Structure 1
């Protein structure tokens, strides 16, 4: 593709909108011609989704801009896309060609209001990393301090503004012509996308986020957040401390410097648990490229452009939801979901509650220890069907939280495959469930644990009695239906015999010329026909009912 075409607004909008329309038409036609979903149909559906995801990824790499960031955003939204599509998008990373250095140099000089030489002793013209929003260069200040400089790409703001227009058109088409568009809150989703990505375009926000992380985790001795140079950082140029090290998944580097992978994994686990379970800001994109390991074993966290915020009320709602699952109090679970804005206004609360209970009973009856990879896949499929069936939409921060958690689990497994998340998480989970860290709270949690069977017994007993009555009522109804079928068949057979005997009598009377028998035969045959009609119509009506 001509590299200059992607800067033409009409071209970008046409490519993005047409790709979306084509995907929708392919899905519509697939459902039109495949009425029966057997294994062959499912295989073809999988091939279609993989083909669409592959085309989206290819176009994203060609055009850059919003398509890459939106693809990363969608990869966290199980409420929006099928799992197969998401799986393909998970491999979508910022693989873009570096910006020619003279464009970056021009951007730096505009941001600083003067030549680069006024602030820098030297700068490498080849970027060490290139992404859809900016390129990162290694430079040296006049006092000899090495720094990393993140510079926005050429015309990136203009590109994203055009792409936002294209995305608005796509959402309008989905909202107008698809069933999903009428169920989902697409205006809210569009606002989330624009807000999240626009924040990434302002590097001063990233600097502020990094400083907040540095203050929050200052007491973590094995975690380091780089320093930022606020005085020479702007919305489009970000200057930070240069970090020497390797990716956190570089096991050869750890072996060379005699670093324990288990210790690194435990430190990362504790760092992420602190972010994801307790109120405050959390890193939304903790992949191995944003996590480094230094020669002394310290974990370095970089790139705070994409972050989420866990408010205290949200943490309390999640805690209440988990407690509801433990105590089998699904009313509490529903209240927590409503507080968390998971359920849209037209959600069928009773239906959602029933589905949650059924899914929980189905998969968790044997305990979490029995969950294997296949069962986890089943749970994800069940969750996907559940989300499709009900008007559910994950707020952005919760979606980012889920995505970040899954990324971290993958990184932990790469560092230390023997990781025992349950064992590591048990102490933290107790503290989190109690909501406090005091000893009194710990004993209160023990009492709560001990009381769970007693608390759940009345509900279990009532549910047993209700379910028993419903079961008996259902069995009685089924028995009545079976009897009615037998009665209709019996009466139908009697009517058929009456019609047959009447017909035979009439024929016999005609041959013998016996008028009395002829009349009786005709009457009996007529009664048999009428009886068959009445029985047949009544039986059909019962079956339909």
Structure 2
């Protein structure tokens, strides 16, 4: 493609809008000509989506600009696109040709208001990295300090403004002519895309984010955030400390420098868990290119252009949702999802609740481990279909959180394949589940919830009758758990009655000076106290498990 064409507004808009229209027409025609969805039809459908995703990737690499960033945004949105499409987009990285140095030099001198030699002793003409928004060059200050200079690409502001217009047209077409447009909140989605990407175009925000992370993780001795040179950084030029090292997934580098992969993986795990579970900013693009390893084993985190924010209220909502799953309180789960803006106004609450319950029961009963690949695929397709039908939309920060988590898990598995995420995460999860302000809050709630099985039989029978043939078999593990709760509560109440009866007998015997009754009272009270202690300790252990 002629490189000059991509700077012509009409050409860019035409290419982007036509690609979207063509995809929609292909999908419409496929559904029109395939009424029976057998395995052959599903294979053809998957092939169509993969071809569309491949074409999108090719156009994104040719045009650059918004298509690359939007592709990365979409790769985190399982609520918007099928898995086969997302899988193809996951490999979409900033694969663009570098800007000719003469343009980068011109941008630097415009930003600094003078010749480049006034600030730099030297600068390499070939960038060490090129992305859709900026190129990174190695340079040396006059005092001999090596620095990395990130320079915004030639006419990138103009390109993104044109692409935003094209995206608005695409969203208008989707909203007017497709069923999805009636379900999704497209204006909110458009606003999210524009806000996230516009923030990346302002390098002063990246500098501020970097300094924030440096302050937040200053106590992480094995983690390093580069310094920034604020006095010579601008909206279009960012100057930061030069870091020598390798990608965090370079196992050969670790071996040469006698670095233990397990230690590196554990440090990265702790760093990311602290970001993802607790309120504050989190790095939403932690791929291996943004994570480096120094010869001394220190992890270096760079590129804070794309960050998400976990507010305290959002962290509390996630915690409440997880507690709802543990306590099997699906009303709480639904309430948390509404608070998190996952569920839009017209969602079928009861259907969502039923699907969540059935999926959770299948997991808890070990059903997933007994399924073959085809059955598992059918379940995932059913969930995907349900999400398409219902007004469910994932807010941007949660989407970025999910994407960042999946990226980090992949990096951890590459560094240390034997990683045990459950074992590493257990201490942090205990602290997180208890809440930052009250470590005992969750256990108190567990104790209060444990009394519910006494009243659960009528509700369980109703659920049993309503669910029909599909749920006729009682879930053995579930019922055992409820019976154990009832067992402990019953014998706890019985022991309490023994203790009260014994105490009453002792008081009566002391007033009437009846030795025989006093003996019986002491025995009854003793049985009651011991019984209360045994039952209480056993029940608390069960609750903690």
Counterpart for residue 126 of structure 1: 126
Compared with structure 1, are the counterparts of its residues 222 and 374 closer, same or farther at alpha carbon in structure 2 (3 Å cutoff)? farther
After superposition, the Cα gap between the structure-2 partners of 1:52 and 1:263, relative to the gap in structure 1 and judged at 3 Å, is: same
Distance 1:265 1:474 in 2: 44
Distance 1:302 1:88 in 2: 26
2:246 corresponding residue in structure 1: 246
- Give secondary structure in 1 for the equivalent of 2:457: helix
Paired residues of 2:368 and 2:376 also in contact (CA < 8 A): no
Maintained 8 Å contact 2:341/2:395: yes
Unaligned runs of 5+ residues in structure 2 are 472-545
Give the total of aligned pairs: 471
The structure-2 alpha-carbon separation of the partners of 1:378 and 1:220, relative to structure 1 and needing over 3 Å to count, comes to farther
TM-score, reference length from structure 1: 0.83
Alignment match, 1:281:
281
- The alpha carbon displacement at 1:348 in A equals 1.8
2:222 paired residue number:
222
Offset at 1:41? 0.3
Q: Is the 8 A contact 1:280 1:310 kept in 2?
A: yes
The alpha-carbon deviation at position 463 of structure 1 amounts to 3.1
- Give 1:414 shift: 0.3
Trace 1:472-483 onto structure 2 (pairs within 5 A): none
Q: Following the alignment from structure 1 to structure 2, what is the Cα–Cα distance between the partners of residues 100 and 470?
A: 68
Please state how far the C-alpha of 1:12 moved relative to its aligned partner. Answer: 0.3
Q: 1:410 to 1:373 in 2, by over 3 A?
A: farther
Counterpart of 1:457 (choices 453, 456, 468) is 453
Secondary structure of the residue aligned to 1:427 is: helix
Contact kept? 1:328, 1:456, Cα under 8 Å: no
Give a deviation string over 1:264-303, Cα, whole Å, max 9, x none. Answer: 0000000000000000000000000000000010000000
CA contact (8 A) 2:327 2:446 kept: no
The answer to whether 1:357 aligns with 2:357 is: yes
1:266 aligns with 2:266: yes
For structure 1, the residue ranges without an aligned partner over 5 or more in a row are 476-545
Find the residue that maps to 1:240 and give its secondary structure.
Answer: strand
Maintained 8 Å contact 1:147/1:239: yes
3-state SS in 2 of match to 1:234: coil
- Residue 6 and residue 472 in structure 1: after superposition, are their counterparts in 2 closer, same or farther (change >3 A)? closer
SS of the residue corresponding to residue 424 of structure 1 reads helix
* Residue 385 (1) aligns with residue 385 (2): yes
Deviation at 1:353, TM superposition (A): 1.4
Shift of 1:263: 0.3
Residue number in structure 2 paired with 1:409 = 409
> Contact 1:77/1:394 (CA < 8 Å) preserved in 2?
yes
Report the CA distance shift for 1:67/1:285 in structure 2 as closer, same or farther (over 3 A). Answer: same
Offset of residue 473 of structure 1: 11
- The equivalences for 1:107-506 within 5 A come to 107-366=107-366, 380-436=380-436, 441-442=439-440, 445-446=442-443, 454-455=450-451, 457-458=453-454, 460-470=456-466
Is the Cα–Cα contact under 8 Å of residues 66 and 160 in structure 2 kept in the other structure? yes
What do residues 338-386 of structure 1 show as CA deviations (whole Å, max 9, x unaligned)?
Answer: 1111111111222221221122222333389889988876664343223
SS at 1:80 equivalent: coil
User: SS state of the match for residue 210, structure 1?
Assistant: helix
Q: Does residue 90 of structure 2 align to residue 90 of structure 1?
A: yes
CA 1:211–1:471 in structure 2 vs 1: closer, same or farther (change >3 Å)?
closer
Query: What CA distance in whole angstroms lies between the structure 1 residues aligned with 2:389 and 2:224?
Result: 44
Give the Cα separation in 2 of the matches to 1:41 and 1:135: 44
Q: Which residue of 2 aligns with 1:488?
A: none
2:55 corresponds to 1:55: yes
* In structure 2, distance between residues paired with 1:109 and 1:422: 52
Q: TM-score normalised to the size of structure 2?
A: 0.83
SS in 1 for 2:149: strand
- Counterpart in 2 of 1:497? none
Q: Which has the larger radius of gyration?
A: 1
8 Å contact from structure 1 (residues 151, 238) kept in 2: yes
**1:535 counterpart residue number:** none
The alpha-carbon deviation at position 471 of structure 1 amounts to: 6.9
Alpha-carbon displacement from aligned partner over 1:372-404 (angstroms, at most 9, x marks no partner): 988876664343223112100011000000000
Q: In structure 2, do the counterparts of structure 1 residues 455 and 78 end up closer, same or farther at CA, with 3 Å as the change threshold?
A: farther
Q: Does the CA contact (< 8 Å) of 1:278 and 1:315 recur in 2?
A: yes
Distance 1:367 1:430, change over 3 A: farther
